[in-house]
Structure 1
Amino acid sequence: MRELLLSLEVAGACALVVLLGLVLVLVRRRRLTGRLGTFDCSVRHPSSRRWAWGVARYETDRLDWYRTFSLSPRPSCSFARGALDVTRRRDADGQERFAVQPGAIVVECRHRGAPLELAMSSDAYTGFASWLESAPPGQNVNVA
């Protein structure tokens, strides 16, 4: 009987830790999306053929991207506006449709010469393209 109670206590403690982690992730996401200039954005690097869900936020000279399932207050990636070129945009196709948000547009880019894909809503793409085009003079910005 004592072993059963100990097992139940351990299982309860594990469930509490998982629940606390989930609450912290949700609170972090709420704080990120509550700020001006944020939008849902998935990222896929060529080194990994998997999409990662996240939230992007415009800064003056860069786009900061925060992974959805993380507790870190720092961005997972930052993309310099002057080094970001849009090469093409397209609708998500095949298996991609299940890995990104519904109705997402896949934006194929190059960041410092390396390929990069971002998936976002069409409204978010309009804002993204405007943000890139409004770069200060002297920054060569290419928007497809």
Structure 2
Amino acid sequence: MSAAEVIGVVLVLLAAVLVGLAVRRRWLARNGGTFECSMRHRPHDDGTTTPSTGWVLGVARYGGDDLEWFRFFSLAWWPKYTFRRSEVSILEHRAPTAAEAVALYADQEVVSVTTGSGDNFEYRDLAMSPDSLTGMLSWLEAAPPGINRR
């Protein structure tokens, strides 16, 4: 293979990946309300994590009683994480620190949540726009009767 052919193959593969990402994003948006939502999994109060590390860009989608989170740069058609409405509790929301702001989209707020039930909790930080935060708070409060909120 000549150098031109190799470059051509690489460009075709790159274009295919970009088209795949665009088609996936469009599909996600057509199957429920989506919003930009970065996420960081964190141990609770470990004090060893640098504030700007661990953030992953993503897209969240509402689906009935679930909030599904997808990595932004992934070709997977299934969510990386699924949060049940009845198992999500918001601990706090705040402006990002200067170090966090570098890793996040502009004007996002950081929301610290716990997910899980019983003694099996996980702590996560989500970053989203103020409008998306309002939507998430409304979605959490709009749980059907009989759902026990923590």
Q: TM-score normalised by the shorter chain: which range applies?
A: 0.7 to 0.9
Q: Which stretches of structure 1, 4 residues or more, deviate above 2 A after TM superposition?
A: 33-36, 137-142
Counterpart-to-counterpart distance in 1, 2:25 and 2:54: 21
Residue 62 (str. 1) matches residue 58 (str. 2)? no
Q: Which residue of 1 aligns with 2:84?
A: 80
Q: Secondary structure at the match of 2:73?
A: coil
Q: Which amino acid aligns with 2:65?
A: D
Q: Runs of 5+ in structure 2 lacking a partner? A: 44-48
Identical pairs, percent: 39
Q: Secondary structure at the match of 1:141?
A: coil
Residue 18 (str. 1) matches residue 14 (str. 2)? yes
Q: Deviations over 1:26-60 (max 9, x none)?
A: 22112323444211111111169411111111111
Counterpart-to-counterpart distance in 2, 1:20 and 1:84: 37
Higher alpha-carbon Rg: 1
Q: Which residue of 2 aligns with 1:89?
A: 93
Describe how 1:1-144 pairs up with structure 2 within 5 A: 6-46=2-42, 49-112=53-116, 113-141=121-149
Counterpart-to-counterpart distance in 2, 1:39 and 1:135: 20
Q: Deviations over 1:57-88 (max 9, x none)?
A: 11111101111111111111101111110010
Q: Runs of 5+ in structure 1 lacking a partner? A: none
Give the RMSD, CA atoms, in angstroms.
Answer: 1.7
Counterpart-to-counterpart distance in 2, 1:140 and 1:88: 20
Q: Which amino acid aligns with 1:124?
A: S
Q: Which amino acid aligns with 2:87?
A: A
Task: Tell me if the contact between 1:33 and 1:55 (Cα under 8 Å) persists in the aligned partners.
Answer: no
Greater relative CO (CA pairs within 8 A, separation 6+) = 2
TM-score (norm 2): 0.84
Deviation at 1:7, TM superposition (A): 2.0
Deviation at 1:122, TM superposition (A): 0.3
Q: Secondary structure at the match of 1:97?
A: helix
TM-score (norm 1): 0.87
